[in-house]
Amino acid sequence: MKKHNFKGVFFVMTVSINRPNYLSSAEIKDLSDSGHGIAAHTWDHHMVTKYSGEDWNIQLVKPKTRLEAIIGKPVTDFAYPFGLWNKEAIPEIKNNGYKMAFILSAKRDSTAPLYTIRRMIVSGNWSTDRMIKAMETTFKNAK
C-alpha cells in the first residue's frame, strides 16, 4: 500500500493491541499519522447480535476510548464482528459517537444505511484482477 500511496482503514480489536503478531500502540499511531483510518472492531470480536447490559460499554465505548488515546483523534467508524448486525445495535452505535458502521455480506438497512455499509476483507497476495473481481462481487448487491 505504501509503495502505491494507498490508504486503508484498520479495524482494531483492542484486546489484541501489543500482543505478538498484532499491531502495537506505536504501529497504530504510525498508521494513523500516515493517513490511514483507525476504526474500532470491538474489544474481543464478540458478536454484536448477542450484546446485553455492560457488553455495550465493553465492546463499543472502551475500544473507542482506547484507540482515541493512542492516535489522538476521534474514532468514528466501527466494524461489526463477523459482519453481523441487528437493528438493536444501530442506536447504541450512534449514541456512542460512531458515524458509520460496516458489515460484510448481510443486506444493508434502508433506514440507517451509514450503519450498514458494505466492506470486504482483502488478502495481501491478491492480483489486481482478483481484487477487481472481488470488488465487483462484493459490491454488486450492496444496496
In a domain, 77, yes or no: yes
CATH (domain of 27): 3.20.20.370
Measured between alpha carbons, how far is 3 from 58 in angstroms, rounded to an integer?
A: 37
- The total of structural domains in the chain comes to 1
In a domain, 1, yes or no: no
pLDDT (0 to 100) of residue 47:
94
Which of 105 and 102 is assigned the larger pLDDT?
102
pLDDT (0 to 100) of residue 30:
97
pLDDT digits (tens, 9 = 90+) for 82-104: 999 999 999 999 999 999 999 98
In a domain, 4, yes or no: no
Measured between alpha carbons, how far is 70 from 6 in angstroms, rounded to an integer?
A: 22
First to last CA, the chain: 28
pLDDT (0 to 100) of residue 109:
87
Has residue 5 got a pLDDT over 90?
no
Burial (Cβ within 10 Å: 0-12, 13-18, ≥19) of residue 40: buried
CB contact at 8 A, 77 and 99: yes
Total-model pTM: 0.87
pLDDT (0 to 100) of residue 120:
82
In a domain, 2, yes or no: no
Q: Mean pLDDT lowest for which of 43-52, 71-80, 107-116, 117-126? A: 117-126
pLDDT digits (tens, 9 = 90+) for 20-53: 999 999 999 999 999 999 999 999 999 999 999 9
Has residue 143 got a pLDDT over 80?
no
pLDDT digits (tens, 9 = 90+) for 55-84: 999 999 999 999 999 999 999 999 999 999
Find the domain containing 106 and state its range: 9-140
Has residue 142 got a pLDDT over 70?
no
pLDDT (0 to 100) of residue 25:
98
In a domain, 22, yes or no: yes
In a domain, 3, yes or no: no
